[in-house]
A and B are shown apart, each in its own frame.
Chain A
C-alpha cells in the first residue's frame, strides 16, 4: 500500500502565481486534512474534509481553497501565492470521526514563494 501520496514534493513559485497540491490515499479513509508546518509553530490545520464532496475550514484557511471530488483525493489550491505561504504542507487521512483512529500523513510538499 502506498498510503498517503503527495504531489509534487518540491515547488518554487513566484508571488501571485497559482498552483494545486494533490493528495491521494488508498486506504478508503473518510477524513482528509491539509496542514502547514512552520518552524516553532507545529502543524496547523488549513482545511479538512469529512467525506467526498465536503470541506471545512481549519485554523488557518485564508488564502487557500480545497476540493474533494473523489473520496481518495484531496486538493489544496493557492490562487495567488504570497511569500507568507512558504511552508511545508502535509496531507493526512483517517478512517473517521473517532479521535483514537490515527491520522496517516504523507511525506509533505516543500513550497517556496519568491
Chain B
C-alpha cells in the first residue's frame, strides 16, 4: 500500500509550458514534504520542500502548492525547459526520524 500517491506517471510538456505533478497522502503524522529530481544515471537530489504551515513555496521556476485539508500537494514548473526533463519524486516524512516515503515518480519530458 503506497502511502504517497503520485500522478501522472509520465508527462510531456512543450518548452515554455507549465508542468504540474500531483501527490496525495493519508498519514496525518507527515509534516515535511520534499520533491526530489532525478536525471538518468544519477541519484535523486532535493529540489524543493514545504512544511504544512504554509500553502505555497516558490523557488525560481519551481513552486509547491500545499492543501492540508485535502492532504494533497503539487509541484508546478513554470516556463518548463528541456533541461527540466527528469524523473520527479514527491515524498513525505514526519518531523523526527528523517525517514522518507516516496511517491512512484513522474517522468517529465519537455519538448523543444
Q: Which residues of A contact B (CB under 8 A)?
A: 4, 31, 40-45, 48, 58, 90, 92, 94, 96-108
How many B residues face the partner with a CB closer than 8 A? 28
Tally inter-chain residue pairs, CB-CB below 8 A.
64
B73-112 residues with Cβ-Cβ distance < 8 A to A are 89, 93-100, 102-105
A4-B43, A102-B34, A107-B43 known; A42 and B103 CB under 8 Å? yes
**A106 to B46, Cβ gap below 8 A?**
no
Contacts of B104 in A (CB 8 A): 40-42
**A105 to B45, Cβ gap below 8 A?**
yes
**B98 to A40, Cβ gap below 8 A?**
no
Q: A105-B43, A108-B43 are in contact. List 4 more A-B contacts (CB 8 A).
A: A41-B104, A90-B44, A107-B42, A108-B42
Contacts of B4 in A (CB 8 A): 42
Contacts of B95 in A (CB 8 A): 98-99
**A97 to B96, Cβ gap below 8 A?**
yes
Q: Which residues of B contact A (CB under 8 A)?
A: 2, 4, 6, 9, 31-32, 34, 41-46, 49, 51, 89, 93-100, 102-105
Considering the chains assembled together, what is the distance between the CA atoms of A41 and B4 in angstroms?
11
**B102 to A43, Cβ gap below 8 A?**
yes
Considering the chains assembled together, what is the distance between the CA atoms of A94 and B44 in angstroms?
13
> Smallest distance from the beta carbon of B57 to chain A beta carbons, Å?
12
**A99 to B97, Cβ gap below 8 A?**
yes
**B44 to A43, Cβ gap below 8 A?**
yes
